[in-house]
Amino acid sequence: MKLESYQQIKDDRLTHRGYDYERIAQEYQTPLYIFDEPSFIERVKGYRDQFQSEVFETEILYASKALLTKEIARLVARLDIGQDVVSAGEIYAGQAGGIDAKRMYFHGNNKTDQELLYAIKNGVGTIVLDNQSEAHRLNHLIQQSNEGHIQKVLLRVNPGIEASTHEYILTATNDSKFGENIHDSEIFMVISEIAALSHLNLVGFHSHIGSQIFEADSFLKASESLIDFAQKVMEQTALKITELNFGGGFGVYYTEEDQPFDVIDYLPRFVKQIEKAIQEAKLPIEKVAIEPGRSLVNASGSTLYRVGDLKQTLSGKHYLFVDGGMTDNIRPALYQAKYEAALVNKITDSAKASYTIAGKACESGDKIIESIMLPEATPGDLLLVNGTGAYNFTMASNYNYIPRPAMIHVTEETIKLTVKRDTLDDLVRNQL
Ligand SMILES: Cc1ncc(COP(=O)(O)O)c(C=O)c1O
């Protein structure tokens, strides 16, 4: 397993900033989400400081679907970046951690009336319309509830860019459920209609081409395509476009198969390319935003499991069972995501056997890793899976009435519990 900068080997055991994983497991139990705060803070500051322009205002919007807790929201607020939200729940959790609603961008392809009203009531700064029908619905809702209000909106458009990533996290193909397609013959009419709605102030466009994208070129193509489209809109309609939002999707390392580019290094070049394209297109752009999620949090998160039973099948497969699984990490079952792992108490032992790491849920597909070489494992070992910061906690479930794990943050000075483990009572709390 590739170690992170905060993981060191001490006396033949893996530690997190000097904390022995066995001590962590004894104090907080397993399975456990572990989040390294300093590496997250450093990454956010790197993105924020490198995504700067003298031509337009820039903003990093943290895509909080990747990982959102009150403590993460507190960090986001403190680090002075905005938040990409997709539900009333994410607005609520963001505000609970102190994020200013004005800095929220509310996305989603089927926001309910209640959610839209909730966003307006709470002062969400920007609503990113998914489609024409939503625009009319939002305008009508404001008319009925808050006559004086004019809501700043962007329209999500789909540039039809095919980036190489898993089908489920690809969002901008012509068949995607997200956004209005820029190649639709009626698109300019649709935009003119939205721009004419009296309670909406349409200032620009958003596009997000997918997740876990490894070619910097795909972002460049998508930005050029959006800028080119914005220029056409200005020629064909009366709309003045002042804001563009290029979404997130920067790829991260999970296994040796992944070769992500250095985003912090790339951002200044990306800004220069956007500046040039905007100047050539003579667009009056005042603000440009990006929405990274996974690339900000993933490498700061890991999951610690206790090894339970081991089993060899008739055909010779070696199963290593852990005390969590698809309920805390659905990604392998959902889209064949791959991970690396290590036995932290045997970190210097040489790998001897190939194991299939499986969880405890009643599903054959409940596997974290299909095949990994590890030192000989015994019940009671501790297995650490790295790169679980994004889309693990937020996609967790209580399938089989398995309590969701706790989360701790490790800082330079201390460890703090940020999410309590579900109790059995929590599992039936809402049941009458
Ligand atoms: C609109 C939008 N913005 C940002 C993101 C964040 O993507 P990632 O976590 O890959 O950076 C997503 C992910 O689905 C998205 O749909």
Q: Whole-prediction pTM value?
A: 0.96
Fold of 107-292: TIM Barrel (3.20.20)
At 169, the pLDDT band (50, 70, 90 cuts) reads: very low
Instruction: Kindly state the tokens that stand for 321.
Output: 């069972």
Q: Phi and psi (nearest 5°) for 225?
A: -65, -40
pLDDT of 174 over the 80 cut: no
Mean pLDDT for the stretch of residues 21-32: 98
For the beta carbon of residue 367, count every other beta carbon within 10 angstroms.
19
Check pocket membership of 405 for ligand 1, CB cut-off 6 A. no
Ligand 1 closest atom vs CA 291: 4
Q: Would you say residue 78 has pLDDT above 90?
A: yes
Residue 130 Cβ < 6 Å to ligand 1: no
Backbone angles phi, psi at 308, to 5 degrees: -105, -120
Is the C-beta atom of 103 inside 6 A of ligand 1? no
**Strand residue runs (E) in 107-148:** 126-129
Query: What is the position in ligand 1's atom list of the atom closest to the CA of 107?
Result: 1
Give the closest residue (by CA) to ligand 1 atom 16: 208
293 within ligand 1 shell (Cβ under 6 A): yes
Enclosing H/E stretch for 424: helix 424-428
pLDDT score, position 177: 79
Probe target for ligand 1 pocket from 155, 211, 252, with the most ligand atoms within 8 Å of CB: 211
pLDDT category at 8 given cuts 50, 70, 90 is: very high
User: Is the C-beta atom of 108 inside 6 A of ligand 1?
Assistant: no
Of all protein residues, the one whose alpha carbon is nearest to atom 12 of ligand 1 is 248
Q: Are 250 and 262 in contact (CB under 8 A)?
A: no
- Ligand 1 atom with the smallest distance to the CA of 128 is 1
Partners of 391 in the β-ladder: none
What six digits make up the tokens of 287?
């603000």
Is any ligand 1 atom within 6 A of the Cβ of residue 156?
Answer: no
Q: Each residue of 323-379: pLDDT tens digit? A: 999 999 999 999 999 999 999 999 999 999 999 999 999 999 999 999 999 999 999
DSSP 345: G
Inform me whether the pLDDT recorded for 159 exceeds 90.
no
The tens digit of pLDDT for each residue in 321-335 reads: 999 999 999 999 999
- pLDDT of 165 over the 60 cut: no
Domain ranges of the chain: 7-36+298-428, 107-292
Instruction: Find out whether 276 and 269 touch, Cβ atoms under 8 Å.
Output: no
Stretch 252-261: mean pLDDT: 97
Which DSSP symbol is given to 402?
P
Q: Whose CA is nearest to atom 5 of ligand 1?
A: 248
Residue 167 clears pLDDT 80, i.e. is over it = no
CATH of domain 7-36+298-428: 2.40.37.10
**Is 172 a residue whose pLDDT tops 70?**
no
What residues are annotated to the active site? 362
Give 10 Cα–ligand 1 centroid separation in angstroms: 37
Q: Identify which of 83, 208, 226, 267 to mutate to test ligand 1's pocket (most ligand atoms within 8 A of the CB).
A: 208
Nearest to 64 by CA among 291, 246, 260: 291
What value does the mean pLDDT of the chain take? Answer: 95
